[in-house]
Structure 1
Amino acid sequence: MSDKNSRPIIGLVLVGLGLLFLLQSMGIYISETLIALVFAGAGLGFVVYFLQDRTRPWALIPGFVLLAISALIGFGEQMGSLGGTLFLGAIGLGFLGVYLYRRENWWAVIPAGTLLTLAVVAAIGESRWVDGGTVFFVGLTITFAAVFALGQRWAIFPALGTGLLTLLTMGWFTGVFEVLLPLAMIAGGAYLLWRNRKPGDTKLLEK
């Protein structure tokens, strides 16, 4: 789908949302159902734009977000606390789509994993059986492990870090980590300093 053919879709979305905000600013009453339908139409417009041009998966992000807002406006009271889960999950799925349809966009896995994890944490809420902090760090560990598996070697470090934080939030080996974690940080810092040394530094030490 060319830019010329996609302009009417984006144009209609902008006009619809603009008219809605203008009428509200003028104090004209608009029913929640109509507002929800406008947001749903705008969201579907972006989704259709993507379906007609799969090379532009970025359109999934505003598409899913607008559809989620539509659902919150129309069914917010029925959803209750799950509204936050829906909104965060919609954004996360949008970023996931950016990666799935263009695999070179590995970076999109990070916001996708983070937002989907936050959606799960929001769904758990104040559960007595599952700790939200533990779930959050587990999700981040999986996210960075996935980025590492995609060939980004640097991601192993945040994956290991969030993995350790997961164990800490679970209360495992707390006493051991109080000693090992500072030692690991010192060792890591010393290694980075050693790697960054200049060629002449070794000669000075030998003298």
Structure 2
Amino acid sequence: MKRSITRTVVGLLLIMGGIVLLLENLGLLQVWRSWFWAMIFGGGGLLFLAVYVGDRRQWWALIPGASLIGVGLLIFLDTVRGVPDEVRAGVMLLCISLAFWGIFLSDRRQWWAIIPGGVLIVVAVIPMAARALPESVVGGLFFIGLGLVFTVLYLFSFSNPDLRWAKWPALPLFLIGLLAIFAAQLLTWWPLLLILLGLYMLLRTVTGRR
């Protein structure tokens, strides 16, 4: 069964690749090239997802399947005006992230998939958030996001005690993120300390205190 599925997928991919190269050589992809490639990558991704649907033990197929669909969406969004680069890249990364979450949800023993799945979400969301947030805050949010990934992993330790170790990377990541945010704010507002000190000295002078 496994060999037949593999042969089917490889055969279909070879056929699709041959058609694409033939059309490219004949110059028939000039006008609709982006749309065509988006459909090719998306179709290839659906083939891998079909492998997983046919046999849930083939969880590996989710990774190339979601990745190819993500690339297809990236190419498609490139044809849409006004879509920022961060959004296009974020959509692709979120698609890949869904593959790892699907692996974990299909088999809770595959807890390792939470880490790449969560990290990809953070990497996808932070650049988009950076468009609306100060640069000094974005770096701290990145570490806080990574801390949340390990926090989610730690929450599953109630059903799997082997995951209790996840709290140790979560705590320092949260601390680094908070320090980065507050340190950046301190660098901005520290002159207020000089102003307060100056006002205090003037007040002592006016009141006649030494």
Instruction: Please state which band the TM-score falls in when normalised by the shorter chain.
Output: 0.7 to 0.9
Counterpart amino acid of residue 110 in structure 2: N
Counterpart amino acid of residue 8 in structure 2: P
Contact 1:125-1:132 within 8 A present in 2 as well: yes
Structure 2 residue ranges without an equivalent (≥5): 158-162, 187-210
- TM-score under structure 1 normalisation? 0.72
Q: Could you say if the C-alpha distance between residues 17 and 122 of structure 1 is closer, same or farther in structure 2, counting changes exceeding 3 Å?
A: farther
User: Which residue does 1:100 correspond to in 2?
Assistant: 105
Q: Could you say if the C-alpha distance between residues 157 and 19 of structure 1 is closer, same or farther in structure 2, counting changes exceeding 3 Å?
A: farther
User: Which residue does 2:2 correspond to in 1?
Assistant: 2
Contact 1:140-1:159 within 8 A present in 2 as well: yes
User: Which residue does 2:84 correspond to in 1?
Assistant: 80
* Ranges of 4+ aligned residues in structure 1 off by more than 4 Å: 21-24, 26-29
Structure 1 residue ranges without an equivalent (≥5): 176-207
Give the distance between the partners of 2:113 and 2:66, measured in 1 at CA.
Answer: 15
Identity across the alignment (%): 32
- TM-score under structure 2 normalisation? 0.71
Give the distance between the partners of 2:36 and 2:114, measured in 1 at CA.
Answer: 35
Give the distance between the partners of 1:57 and 1:76, measured in 2 at CA.
Answer: 30
Q: Residue 116 of structure 1: which of 98, 106, 121 is its match?
A: 121
C-alpha displacement of 1:155? 1.5
Give the distance between the partners of 2:18 and 2:129, measured in 1 at CA.
Answer: 36
Give the distance between the partners of 1:77 and 1:133, measured in 2 at CA.
Answer: 31
Q: Could you say if the C-alpha distance between residues 2 and 128 of structure 1 is closer, same or farther in structure 2, counting changes exceeding 3 Å?
A: closer
Give the distance between the partners of 1:21 and 1:169, measured in 2 at CA.
Answer: 50
Give the distance between the partners of 1:144 and 1:75, measured in 2 at CA.
Answer: 32
1:173-201: CA deviation from partner (whole Å, max 9, x where unpaired): x99xxxxxxxxxxxxxxxxxxxxxxxxxx
Contact 1:44-1:67 within 8 A present in 2 as well: yes
Secondary structure, aligned partner of 1:142? helix
C-alpha displacement of 1:142? 1.3
C-alpha displacement of 1:108? 0.7
User: Which residue does 1:12 correspond to in 2?
Assistant: 12
Counterpart amino acid of residue 52 in structure 2: F
Contact 2:94-2:124 within 8 A present in 1 as well: yes
